[in-house]
Amino acid sequence: MTYEEMRSTYKWLKKNYPEVSGVLNEEGTVTKETYYKVGSRWKLAETETEHFDDRYYMNTFDAVPFFRRLGGYEKVTCQYTTLGYIPTEVVSISPDKTTKIVRKFRFEERR
């Protein structure tokens, strides 16, 4: 990610979520749950947990407006954390309404 991309991403996040400045240089884990549509219900297919850095976090929330314009459904949930009131979960549903991905971000406390 170039400096210009980082600056524009950070500018957008800072405008929409003012407390996000505490995320820089933090690490945590992201749980990615993938669901598939079965009839009228969502069925959990797989769950992955991995570590992430601030770049992954910012790119995830920076992509929200892009995917909304493509026709997908994106819902951002914010919570109070030790870093402030920041986005901690993204629910993404594909434009054809058959796949749903839920990403839950958890930050580790530094000592």
pLDDT the model gives residue 28: 86
DSSP class of residue 19 equals G
| pLDDT per residue as tens, the chain (111 positions) | 444 555 566 666 767 766 665 566 667 899 999 999 999 999 999 999 999 887 788 888 888 888 888 898 999 888 887 777 788 899 999 999 999 999 999 987 654
pTM over 0.85? The answer is no
Q: What residue segments make up the domains of the chain, in order of their start?
A: 29-107
Distance (Å, whole) CA 59 – CA 72: 17
Say what the pLDDT of residue 111 is. 47
CA distances to 5, 16, 37, 48, 99 from 74, rounded to whole Å, are: 21, 15, 17, 20, 12
Buried b / exposed e across 66-83, counting CB within 10 Å, b at 16+? ebeeeebebeeeeeebeb
Q: What is the pLDDT of residue 103?
A: 95
